Amino acid sequence: MSEIAKIPGIQGLWEKTKGDSQVVVAVLDGVVDQAHPCFDGARLKRLPTLVQGEAHPRGRMSSHGTHVASLILGQHGSPVQGIAPNCQGLVIPVFADEGRRLSQLDLSRAIEQAVNAGAHIINISGGQLTDYGEAEDWLQQAVGLCRDNNVLIVAAAGNDGCECLHVPAALPAVLAVGATDGQGQPLELSNWGQTYQNQGVLAPGENILGAKPGGGTVRLSGTSFATPIVSGVAALLLSLQRQRGEEPDPQKVRTALLKTALPCNLPENDQRPRCLV
């Protein structure tokens, strides 16, 4: 049984749904190796990138993107079990390998692209470190577009191991995700901060098994790999809404996740601010 299958409550969710084909999750990341066996039978479509440069199919950022996508859409019975294998996935490459930093403008364009393509959830396992959690105008506008169209952005809190903020995770209406270790404690590298405490959750992010380009699997750690777990759970909850004959309501799901997340149980000598909820 994979680590994902051991997440509390996930088996019960899977008994009800493994996803609805009309629920769309966009993955804004590196190029995804869609030929990996874990994606056999997956509803996974790649959209053209609007970013200059592109990740090499076997490069570092492709490894990142393939791992992230597999945690959401990996088919059951394959080497990697994704959280929501029956949902529909959109891959929008935004990371390149040549060292060019992803700009907030490029990220904004990709977010708008995902919204226009019908995404309900946008997974962003990346971001930029900022002093006060403020974003440039175009990124704020793109996040506002998601809010106005009831599209949920799920974004990584960052791996700097400090009380510091990444965007878009720190922006209003975004669901920020930090990472826990194997004992359920905040991972040392996982960022925290007051803003995150108001709009964030923690999810498993240490030695997470996922797909690697070319076949096979690899274990990786960080908030990047906790984020798709939360995106996948959100997609399952949207799928349950559809089962009940309701319209998918991502912001309602965001609220439910924040209200029902279990509080941290930290050692007495640790600091509660490291928790995001």
How far apart are the C-alpha atoms of 264 and 277, rounded to whole Å? 8
Q: Who wins on pLDDT, 116 or 132? A: 116
Each residue's pLDDT tens digit, 70-100: 999 999 999 999 999 999 999 999 987 665 5
Whether residue 239 contacts residue 231, with contact meaning beta carbons closer than 8 Å, is answered with no
Whether residue 274 contacts residue 163, with contact meaning beta carbons closer than 8 Å, is answered with no
User: Nearest to residue 9, comparing CAs of 275, 247, 237?
Assistant: 237
3-state secondary structure of 16: helix
How far apart are the C-alpha atoms of 221 and 109, rounded to whole Å? 28
Each residue's pLDDT tens digit, 65-77: 999 999 999 999 9
Q: What residues contact residue 69 under an 8 Å CB cut-off, 6+ apart?
A: 27, 29, 32, 39, 44, 89, 91, 211, 228
CATH number of this structure's domain 4-263, picked from the four choices 2.60.120.620, 2.40.50.100, 3.20.20.80, 3.40.50.200: 3.40.50.200
Domain range annotation of the chain: 4-263
Q: For the stretch 168-204, what's the b/e string if a residue is b when 16 or more beta carbons lie within 10 angstroms of its beta carbon? A: bbbbebbbbbbbbbeeebbbebbbbbebbeebbbbbb
How sure is the predictor about 269, in pLDDT bands with cuts at 50, 70 and 90?
very low
The single-letter DSSP state of residue 217 is E
pLDDT given for residue 53 in this prediction: 63
User: Nearest to residue 201, comparing CAs of 151, 254, 159, 249?
Assistant: 254
Rounded mean pLDDT, 216-231: 98
Question: Distance between terminal CA atoms of the chain?
Answer: 28
